[in-house]
């Protein structure tokens, strides 16, 4: 079978061969480059450039973990198309990651400082977890140093920082009220650094890879919004791309877990779905090898990538007070009722029409 991007990749045949020697099939490599172009909303003509970029440079990367649950590390390790082992670790040089690195103790800290001292201004810092500022930052210490102290040095000397997950983006669950440790995101804790936020609980590894691929391909970070989120990943709402959207537009809502509407895959707005106010490309890239995502699984979106969702999107099972796009006063009930009335009127007219036709036929 010939893929539309085949011709583009033929231009990068040398690169394909390099990855072939590493056990990555041509098909997988093609899928990777095509997928990255799609996520970044680039035309197919950029595929050879992406292929060349990911096979050439190999930037040093250090991955820091502060107030976290390691969910973003898990998300990264679960990358399946391609696997992190086959592509990502061939594209980057991961020098420090507490959860997966072999060295421990002083040797591990030496690995980190070697990069900071020898690759100043050239390496990428990836941060997972919030940074506590209260009481001098004593609530998160690694190797005898506070998280804020480490972040200032490591992020301050990096080419740029990628904050993965909602905790490093803006504090996440660690900063939920009453925020006992004074947890904040990296951007707030270390002002002045160059950074990108990839929120989500957890972040999606496809977006991290795409951010790095963009940097390798163009030498710049992708364009971001006022919250430092790349537009390619957070430019649209979940609601914009949701597969249940047609049911929302038709006023077909699940009213109770397990009811007929739920079985039919209707809209989860009434069950508390926060998709209309959540900006994330979850519905298009999905999870677990792109097999599914929460709304497809039958649960409403909890706006995990939204700023301070634990306080502001809560309670998760109460519906949003209004429906964007239908006026501030509109509610699902009103829309549903309006559509139902219109449909009923249509059916009545249809019925009248049929009755007239039958009469004529008689
Ligand atoms: Fe999808 Fe939720 Fe929007 Fe309904 S309200 S269309 S389930 S995102």
Residues 153 and 296 in one domain: no
pLDDT at residue 182, rounded to an integer: 98
Q: Does 144 lie in the same domain as 265?
A: no
Classify residue 88: in a domain, yes or no: yes
Our measurement of the distance from residue 310's CA atom to the centroid of its chain's CA atoms, rounded to an integer in Å, reads 17
Same-domain pairing of 243 and 216 = no
Which of 234, 269, 299 is the C-terminal boundary of a domain? 234
For residue 19, what pLDDT is reported?
60
What CATH number does the domain containing 323 carry? 4.10.480.10
Of the residues 192, 207, 234, the one at which a domain ends: 234
Ligand 1 centroid from CA 273, angstroms: 6
Q: Tell whether 35 is covered by a domain.
A: no
Which residue, of 189, 213, 234, is where some domain finishes? 234
> What is the pLDDT at residue 44?
87
Ligand 1 atom 6, closest CA: 245
Residue 138 sits in the same domain as residue 226: yes
Q: Are residues 140 and 224 in the same domain?
A: yes
Q: What is the pLDDT of residue 82?
A: 59
pLDDT value of position 163: 98
Bond before 58 cis per omega within 30 degrees: no
How far does the centroid of ligand 1 lie from the alpha carbon of residue 226, in Å? 25
Atom of ligand 1 nearest to the CA of 243: 1
Mark out the alpha helices in the chain (DSSP H runs).
6-10, 13-21, 26-39, 47-56, 71-77, 89-91, 105-118, 147-156, 165-170, 186-189, 205-218, 231-234, 238-241, 245-249, 260-263, 282-285, 309-312, 332-361
Kindly report the number of other CB atoms within 10 A of residue 341's CB atom: 11
Q: Calculate how far, in angstroms, residue 248's C-alpha sits from the geometric centre of ligand 1.
A: 7
Q: Is residue 206 domain-shared with residue 253, that is, in the same domain? A: no
- Asked if residue 32 is part of any domain, the answer here is no
SS (H, E, C) 102-145: CCCHHHHHHHHHHHHHHCCCCCEEEEECEEECHHHHCCCEECCE
The ligand 1 atom at the shortest distance from the C-alpha of residue 237 is 8
Number of domains in the chain: 2
* CATH code of residue 113: 3.40.50.700
Domain containing 284: what range? Answer: 238-335
Residue-level pLDDT at 12: 56
Give which of 97, 92, 127 is closest to 112, Cα–Cα: 97
pLDDT tens across the length of the chain (362 residues): 444 455 555 555 555 665 665 566 777 777 778 888 888 888 888 888 888 887 776 889 999 999 999 999 998 887 766 565 555 566 788 889 988 888 889 999 999 999 999 999 999 999 999 999 999 999 999 999 999 999 999 999 999 999 999 999 999 999 999 999 999 999 999 999 999 999 999 999 889 989 988 998 999 999 999 999 999 999 999 999 999 999 999 999 999 999 999 999 999 999 999 999 999 999 999 998 889 999 999 999 999 999 988 888 778 899 887 655 543 334 444 544 443 443 333 333 333 333 333 343 33
Can you give the pLDDT at residue 139? 97
Assigned domain for 210 exists: yes
320 touches ligand 1 (CB under 6 Å): no
């Amino acid at each position: 079978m010939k893929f539309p991007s085949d011709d583009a990749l033929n231009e990068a045949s040398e690169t394909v061969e390099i990855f072939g020697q590493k056990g990555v099939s041509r098909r997988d490599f093609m899928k990777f480059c095509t997928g990255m172009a799609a996520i970044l909303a680039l035309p197919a003509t950029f595929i050879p450039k992406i292929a060349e970029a990911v096979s050439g440079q190999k930037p040093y990367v250090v991955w820091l973990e502060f107030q976290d649950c390691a969910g973003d590390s898990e998300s990264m390790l679960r990358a399946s198309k391609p696997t992190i082992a086959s592509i990502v670790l061939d594209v980057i040089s991961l020098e420090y990651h507490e959860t997966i690195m072999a060295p421990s103790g002083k040797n591990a800290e030496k690995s980190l400082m070697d990069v900071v001292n020898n690759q100043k201004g050239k390496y990428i810092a990836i941060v997972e977890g919030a940074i506590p500022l209260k009481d001098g930052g004593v609530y998160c210490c690694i190797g005898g140093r506070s998280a804020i102290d480490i972040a200032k040095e490591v992020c301050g000397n990096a080419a740029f920082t990628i904050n993965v997950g909602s905790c490093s983006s803006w504090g996440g669950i660690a900063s939920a009220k009453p925020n006992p440790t004074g947890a904040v995101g990296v951007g707030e804790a270390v002002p002045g650094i160059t950074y990108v936020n990839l929120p989500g609980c957890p972040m999606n590894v496809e977006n991290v890879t795409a951010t790095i691929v963009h940097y390798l391909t163009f030498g710049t970070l992708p364009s971001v919004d006022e919250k430092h989120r790349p537009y390619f990943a957070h430019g649209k709402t979940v609601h914009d791309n949701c597969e249940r959207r047609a049911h929302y537009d038709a006023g077909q809502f699940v009213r109770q877990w397990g009811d007929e509407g739920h079985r039919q895959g209707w809209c989860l707005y009434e069950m508390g779905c926060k998709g209309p106010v959540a900006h994330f490309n979850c519905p298009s890239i999905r999870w677990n090898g792109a097999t599914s995502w929460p709304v497809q699984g039958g649960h409403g979106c909890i706006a995990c990538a939204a700023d301070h969702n634990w306080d502001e999107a809560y309670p998760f099972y109460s519906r949003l007070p209004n429906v964007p796009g239908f006026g501030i006063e509109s509610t699902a009930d009103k829309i549903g009722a309006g559509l139902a009335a219109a449909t009923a009127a249509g059916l009545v007219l249809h019925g009248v029409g049929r009755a007239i036709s039958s009469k004529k036929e008689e």
